[in-house]
Amino acid sequence: MRYVSPYDPAARRPVEAAPRPESLAGRTVALLDISKNRGAEFLDRIEHHLRERGAEVERYAKPLFSRPAAGELVERIAARADLAVESLAD
Amino acid sequence: MSCSVHDLVRLERLGVATAGVGTEPFADEALEQAALLGMPGYRMVWVPHPVQLLTAAQLDARADAAMEAILERLLADSSTANIS
Amino acid sequence: MAAAFTLPSTTGGPVALADLLAAGPAVVMFVTDDCPTCELALRRLAAAGAAVTVVCEAPAAAASRLAARTGFRGRMLSEPAPYETSRAYGLEAVPTTVAIAPGGEVTATVLGWDAEALSGLVGVDLGREAPARKPGCAAKSTYDAAQLAADADSSGDDPEAMFELGWTDGLPTVAPTPERVAAMLAGRDPSVSLGPVPPGMGEATLERVAACAVLAGCRPEHFAVVEAAVRAMLVPGFNLHGQAVTTQPAGQIAVVNGPVRAAAGLNSRMGALGPGTRANATIGRAMRLVVALTGEGMPGRLDRSTLGQAGKVGTCIAEDEERSPWPPLHVERGLRAGTSAVTLLAGDAPLSISEHRSRSPQELAAALGWGAATLWSPNWWPIGAATLFVICPEHADTLAAGGWGKADVRRAIWEAVQRPAGELRQGEFTDRVGGAADSELVPKWDSPDDILLIVAGGEAGRFSAVFGPCVGMDWSPVTQEVRCDT
C-alpha cells in the first residue's frame, strides 16, 4: 500500500554536530543575546573571557526572546562566526 | 526557552559549534527539544536560577563559573567526543 | 439459479454456497466496507441476532474491521476485486440481500436497507427505529477498470493505517494515495517547494502540501486556497516558527476573500465558524497538518502549547462580502475586489459576544469591545497584537445604520475599551501601565489599526465573535493572493 508522505525525510535526519576547533585563538565567536533581563551583562563577562583567550567576538541580539531567531540572523551568524554562544535562556 | 534550542541546532547544522547557556529548571525541556530536532546528545550549559536579582558581581561570578563548561562545548576534546 | 461461489471467511477457511445451502435456505447480504447503509444494516442484524451470511466487497482485513465496528458476529465472507461473484449476481448496489432456497433458486431480493422486507427474509424482527428504508451505495462490481485499479491499490485504505503512521491530528484522516494526491495537484508541479516549514523545517513541496490536503479531507477545488494559505504562513513576518513552539494556545486562522469563496464552496453565512462545511473545515485543517506533519509541529513534541485549543485542528472562514456593508478585508489590505486572497492571522479560539439590545452604533461598538476586553489578559494592556472580530449581519446593520464605516467601528471599539492604569496595575502588567499615573487611561489595543473586522454569519441572531489574540509573538497578518488559474 503506497502513500505519499507529508513528511520531509531530510528534516528528520539526525543533525551532526559542527566540527570543534582545538583552540579559540583567531576564531570568531558570535554571542547571541536572547534579550531577557541581565542577559547582556552575562554576555559581557563571557566576552571578556573569550577575548582573553584570543578570540574575536561579535555581539548579536534577538529582537524578542520568545521567537526563534530569524533565518536571516542565523545565516548571518553562520557566515561570520566559527562558534556561537547563546544565552541566557531563562 | 525552547526557542534557543531551535537556534542552536540550526547553527550546528550550518557548521557553527555552539554552546547554549540556560538556567537549570529548563534542562529537561531543552534535552527533549534537542532530541526532537535531531540532536539527542546536545548538551547545554546550566547556571542556577534565578539570575534576575543578582548583583553585578554575583552575575559575573555565574559567568566565570560557566566558562569551563562553555569551553568544553565549544572546543575539540582530544580524549572524548565533545557532543555525544 | 444463484451462482455458486467459494469465498474466504474472515474467521477461518473458505465457505462455499453449497455449504450454506446444505443447512437449509440461505440469506446472503452483499455489502462494501465503505457504505453507511451497509453499516446500518449490519448493526441492525447484529442487534437482532439474525442469521445472515454477509459477502463484503473488500479484502479480509477490511471486512473484519467492518464486522468489528458494527458488532456483526455472523459469517462474514471477503470478496476481493474484481468482484466476480457480485457480477454473477447482477449486483448494482449494496446492500443487496438475496434469499436462496436449498435447491439454489433465488427466492427473493431486497435492495438497500428495508427493515420490513429484510425482517421477512431473515425471519427476525429487525426493529422499528427509523429509518425504515434507506438506499445504499454503488456496488464495487459496477466500477470501471480505472476505478477498480485505484480501488485495488486502496485495499489497505483504512483510517487505522493513518493513526498507526501518526498522520493525524487526533481525528481520522484520508490516506494520501498517489491517485488522490495527483488529483489534488491537478497538474501542478509536485516538486515546487513553498519553503521550509517551521519548526522542524521540512520542505513544503506541493506534493507534501497536497498530501496534507488529502489527509485533511479536502477536494481538489480547495487546493488553491490551501496553497495560498501555506505561502502566507511561511512569510517570515508571520513568525510561524514562534507560534509553532510557544506555550501559547494560538493557532493560524485563514480568512478568505474574493471569487474563490464560491468556487471552493466556503461558507460565510450561518454556521460560518463551524462545524458543517467541508471547505471551511478541511482547508483550515490542511494548513494545520502542514505545520503539524511537514513542519513536525505536533503538540506534545515540538509544539509546546500548554493547553492547545480546538481551533488548532483548523480555522478557515470566508467573509460575507455580499452581505457586508463595508469593503472586504483584502481590499482594506490593498488588493482589488475581484482578486481572491487568503489573509493569515495568529489567534486563539473564538469567543462569542452576545448583544441583543444596542440600537446605536456607539453602544454596540462598546459592547463588542468590552466583550473582547479580557481576552489574553485583563491587565496586560495594551496587548500590542492584532485582534479579529467577526461581526454578524444584524450587528453590521446596526453599526452601518449610522453611516459608520469599518474605520469608525474600529475607532469606537478602541476608544471604548480603556481603563485607568491604577486599576490595571495588578498581576502581570505592561511597562506602560507600570510607568503611568493612576488616572491615566490605557487602551486595550495600541491603536484602532490593531482591530480587524470581517462580516460573516447567519441572518438571524445578534452574536458576533472575536478571536483571542496572539500576544508578544512579533507577528503580522499576511495577505496572499490565491492562484485560481489551474
As a whole number of angstroms, the distance between CA C357 and CA C364 comes to: 8
Mean pLDDT by 10 residues, chain C (486 residues): 92 90 95 90 93 93 87 93 91 95 95 96 90 91 72 65 92 93 92 95 96 97 98 95 93 98 97 96 98 94 93 97 98 96 97 94 97 95 97 98 95 98 95 97 98 97 97 93 78
What pLDDT does residue C146 have?
67
Nearest to B8 by CA among B29, B32, B36, B39: B39
C119/C97 Cα distance (integer angstroms): 11
Q: Is C380 in contact with C426 (CB distance < 8 Å)?
A: no
> CB-based contact (8 Å) between C202 and chain B?
no
Stretch A62-74: mean pLDDT, rounded? 78
Q: Is C200 on the interface with B (CB under 8 A)?
A: yes
Q: How far apart are CA C305 and CA B36, in angstroms?
A: 16
Q: Measure in Å the smallest separation between the Cα of B2 and chain C Cα atoms.
A: 7
C427: left (phi over 0), alpha (psi -120 to 50) or beta: left
Identify the CA nearest to C210 among candidates C181, C188, C234, C232: C181
Q: Among C191, B37, C152, A45, which residue's Cα sits nearest to residue C209?
A: C191
Q: For C381-437, write each residue's pLDDT tens digit.
A: 999 999 999 999 999 999 999 899 999 999 999 999 999 999 999 998 999 999 999
pLDDT at B82: 45
In degrees, to the nearest 5, what angle opens at C-alpha C180 toward C-alphas C177 and C182? 105
User: How much is the pLDDT for C156?
Assistant: 57
Q: How much is the pTM?
A: 0.74
Looking at residue A33, what is its pLDDT? 93
What is d(CA C469, CA A29) in angstroms, rounded to the nearest whole number? 38
Grid look-up 481538489 returns C220
Q: Can you read off the three cell numbers belonging to residue C447? A: 491603536
Interface test with C, best of A1, A4, A15, A37 (most C CBs within 10 A): A4
Distance from C-alpha of C75 to C-alpha of C168, rounded to nearest angstrom: 33
Of C200, C201, C245, the CB nearest to B2: C245
Question: Of C167, C178, C215, which has the smallest distance from its Cβ to A2's Cβ?
Answer: C178
Give contacts of C210 with chain A, Cβ < 8 Å: 4
Phi, psi dihedral angles at C299 (to 5 degrees) = -55, 140
> B18, A87: Cβ pair inside 8 Å?
no
**C-alpha distance from B36 to closest chain C C-alpha (Å):** 7
Q: Look at residue B79 and tell me whether its pLDDT is greater than 60.
A: no
Residue pLDDT, tens place only, B31-51: 888 988 899 889 999 999 888
Which secondary structure element, helix H or strand E, spans residue C361, and what is its range? helix C361-372
- DSSP state letters, C230-288: HHHHTSGGG-HHHHHHSSS--EEEEEEESTHHHHHT---STTTTSSS-HHHHHHHHHHH
Q: How far is C301 from chain B (nearest CA, A)?
A: 7
> Which one, of C255, C245, C389, C239, lies nearest residue C329 by Cα?
C255
pLDDT for res C116: 95
In tens, the pLDDT along C137-153 reads 889 888 876 666 666 55
Taking alpha carbons only, the member of C344, C369, C371 closest to residue C250 is C344
* Angstrom distance (rounded) from CA C108 to CA A88: 80
CA dist., res. C444 & res. C380, Å (int): 8
Q: How far is CA C326 from the centre of its chain?
A: 29
State residue A10's pLDDT score. 87
Instruction: Find how far residue A53's CA is from the centre of its chain.
Output: 19
CB contact under 8 A, A3 and C210: no
Structure-model confidence comparison of residues C385 and A35, the more confident one: C385
CB contact under 8 A, C208 and A5: yes
Name chain B contacts of A65, Cβ cutoff 8 Å: 3
CA distance C43 to C452: 50
- Tell me, what's the pLDDT at C486? 46
Beta-carbon contacts of residue C384 (< 8 Å; ≥ 6 apart): C446, C450, C471, C472
Q: Do A24 and B75 touch (CB under 8 A)?
A: yes
* Cβ contact A82:B16 at 8 Å: yes
- Provide the chain C residues 285-304 that lie in CB contact (below 8 A) with chain B: 296, 301-302, 304
Strand partners, A89: B22
C136: Cα within 13 Å, side-chain hemisphere: 28
The whole-number pLDDT of residue B78 equals 57
In this complex, do B14 and A83 lie within 8 Å of one another by their Cβ atoms? no
